[in-house]
Amino acid sequence: MVSLEQIRALEARVEKAVTLIDKLRRENAELEQRLVEASRSADEARAAYSELESRSAASLRMTSETETTIDELRAKLQAAEAESASSRERAIAAEQKSSDLESKAEELKREQSRIEEGLTHALQKLDAFEDLVMGISVGEAQAEGDEKVEAVAMSPTTPASQASPFPGESPSEESPDVDQLPGTEHELDIF
């Protein structure tokens, strides 16, 4: 039988999964923003590189300075491209992880539904068992009352109208056997 602690633990896990999914979505958005910025940096670096090449052709005197600047820009471009590729890989990994966590959260929701159905079924069985026990108790009390009524009914002073203990019931009717009550078979089987 599933305990309340297990249900609470399941709820805590679902809440952790939802929190993790939210965190991963924010991280994914941040990585995408970095990717956009890296792309802009790469475009700016390429534009600056071509501008510097045109200036170097026009000015021989600034050739050495331009080459140094070009080398720096190439290094920045490569670093930006490497960061961009790394950001893409992290974004893909984050999306995959987010997808996995969402599927796990859905699975937990389905399991929670099954647990709730099991608990509902168990409560119905307990209600039926309680009804059975209450029916037996009422049947025993009625049987004791029948014995007293029969003693009164057999008395020579008792009128024929009092021979039956309950209206509409004939004096020959006996209380039903508990084993013959409908729905009593396998009533103690909760699951």
Backbone angles phi, psi at 190, to 5 degrees: -75, -40
pLDDT value of residue 47: 87
Q: pLDDT digits over 147-183, tens only?
A: 554 544 454 444 444 444 444 444 444 444 444 445 5
Over residues 61-70, mean pLDDT: 75
Are residues 109 and 10 in contact, defined by beta-carbon separation less than 8 angstroms?
A: no
Phi and psi (nearest 5°) for 170?
Answer: -80, 150
**pTM given for the model:** 0.30
Tokens representing 191 are 């699951």
Gyration radius (Cα) of the chain, Å: 42
pLDDT higher at 58 or 115? 115
Q: How far is CA 83 from the centre of its chain?
A: 37
Longest CA pairwise span in the chain (Å): 143
Domain layout of the chain by residue ranges: 4-120, 141-175
CA-CA distances (angstroms) from residue 8 to 2, 15, 20, 36, 112?
11, 10, 18, 42, 11
